[in-house]
Chains A and B, each alone.
Chain A
Amino acid sequence: MAFDSFSAFIAMEGHGPYVWACYAVFFVLMVVMMAGSVRSRAAIIESCRRGYEFQADKGKVASAPASSASFARVNVSQD
């Protein structure tokens, strides 16, 4: 240890507020950025899932009277 006691470690000979303010801002911003990135990925996965489920439901409704219709639905890849 470079310090004699825990209070000396916190005080850092008067430089404590500067050092700890830097570390606090650094860790808060890093954690916010990391958590935010994970959450936005989860959000896009969730919105995709809802979109696919909605499409699937619509597909069921549309395909029910399809037997009486004369046209065939063609699936063309969109990519």
Chain B
Amino acid sequence: MWQFFHKLGSPKWFFGISARFMPWLLAGGILLLMAGVVWGLAFAPKDYLQGNSYRIIFIHVPTAFMAQSVYIMMASAAVVTLVWRMKLADVFVKAVAPVGLVLTFLALFTGAVWGKPTWGTWWIWDARLTSMLILLFLYGGVIALDRAINDEKSAARAVAVLVLVGVVNIPIIKYSVDWWNTLHQPATFKLTEKPSMPAEMWVPLLLSVLGLYLIFGWLACVRMQTEILCREQRTRWVKEFVMKGRV
């Protein structure tokens, strides 16, 4: 068990193993996302209330869902950084923070564009929207803090603390639609209940969520590899990889 844990923390081990998974993550992700998007755009029935504008849901929900789960993953990695000082956890946080930022922006943007024909306004200071905006600033803060500190170890700890403080925002986003009287509609998927939409709508939505998840996995691998190469360029294994093309 402990041996596995140590191996998991080894950048070299991760580099080798991730290279094997990456083509599958990318191919599977693109396939699922495309299937979900094409099905949702062209074949799913239109909503009786919102008409065709609801088709934005097939990218809005995946990006919003990923924006939050990326933050939860970062927070888990931050705990590992603080408790076990595992280098790879810190590499993960730094590699995926910009991805989280882009996903949060996309969730806000698609939400705003969806809001115009549905609510009659691009933006409103509603609990769900405001807490998502705070998430965007949190991602920005993590990236800025990491760049502001030169020393790698101090940066890792400061960033981990910031990520953990910000995690309080996640339940606020999740439950904002229940706690406050918001314009935003309640969650589409709940673990405890059957979806409130017909299968022709929620199956493509599920496909695009899974697809985006896999694409995120691929992006995380590429970006973590970049960060590892940058940090470990003085080691022999990186030299061998760069000169001979294998780990």
**Contact residues of B between 210 and 239, Cβ < 8 Å to A:** 215, 218-219, 222-223, 225-226, 229-230, 232-236, 238-239
Please give, as numbers and ranges, the residues of chain A lying within 8 Å of B234 by CB-CB distance.
78-79
Known: A19-B53, A22-B59, A37-B222. A9 touches B42 (CB 8 A): yes
Determine the interface band of chain B, counting residues with CB < 8 A from chain A.
35 or more
B229 touches A15 (CB 8 A): no
Please give, as numbers and ranges, the residues of chain A lying within 8 Å of B59 by CB-CB distance.
22-23, 26
**Contact residues of A between 25 and 79, Cβ < 8 Å to B:** 25-26, 29-30, 33-34, 37-38, 40-41, 44-45, 48-49, 51-52, 77-79
Tell which of B111-119, B134-142, B144-152, B169-177 binds the partner: B111-119
Please give, as numbers and ranges, the residues of chain A lying within 8 Å of B222 by CB-CB distance.
34, 37-38, 41
Please give, as numbers and ranges, the residues of chain B lying within 8 Å of A38 by CB-CB distance.
222
Q: Which residue of A lies closest to B53 (CB)?
A: A15
A15 touches B51 (CB 8 A): yes
Please give, as numbers and ranges, the residues of chain B lying within 8 Å of A52 by CB-CB distance.
239, 242-243
A37 touches B239 (CB 8 A): no
Tell which of B1-9, B71-79, B102-110, B124-132 binds the partner: B102-110
Interface size on A, residues (CB 8 A): 33
B113 touches A41 (CB 8 A): no
Provide the bound-state CA to CA distance between A62 and B102, in Å: 48
B225 touches A26 (CB 8 A): no
Provide the bound-state CA to CA distance between A77 and B52, in Å: 63
A23 touches B51 (CB 8 A): no
Quick check: is B55 within 8 A (CB to CB) of the other chain?
yes
Please give, as numbers and ranges, the residues of chain A lying within 8 Å of B41 by CB-CB distance.
9, 19, 23
Contact of A19 among B52, B106, B226 (CB under 8 A): B52
For residue B108, give the distance in angstroms from its CB to the closest CB of chain A. 11
**Other A-B pairs, 6, CB within 8 Å; known A29-B105, A30-B215:** A18-B56, A18-B114, A19-B56, A22-B109, A40-B223, A79-B232
Give residues in A with beta carbon < 8 Å to B: 1-3, 9, 12-16, 18-19, 21-23, 25-26, 29-30, 33-34, 37-38, 40-41, 44-45, 48-49, 51-52, 77-79
* 6 tightest Cβ-Cβ pairs between the two chains A and B: A12-B52, A15-B53, A41-B226, A15-B52, A22-B110, A37-B222
Give residues in B with beta carbon < 8 Å to A: 37, 41-46, 51-53, 55-56, 59-60, 63, 98-99, 102, 105-106, 109-110, 113-114, 116-117, 215, 218-219, 222-223, 225-226, 229-230, 232-236, 238-239, 242-243
**Would you list 11 pairs from A and B whose C-beta atoms are within 8 A, ordered by A residue?**
A12-B55, A13-B52, A15-B55, A21-B113, A22-B109, A26-B106, A38-B222, A40-B223, A48-B233, A77-B236, A78-B235
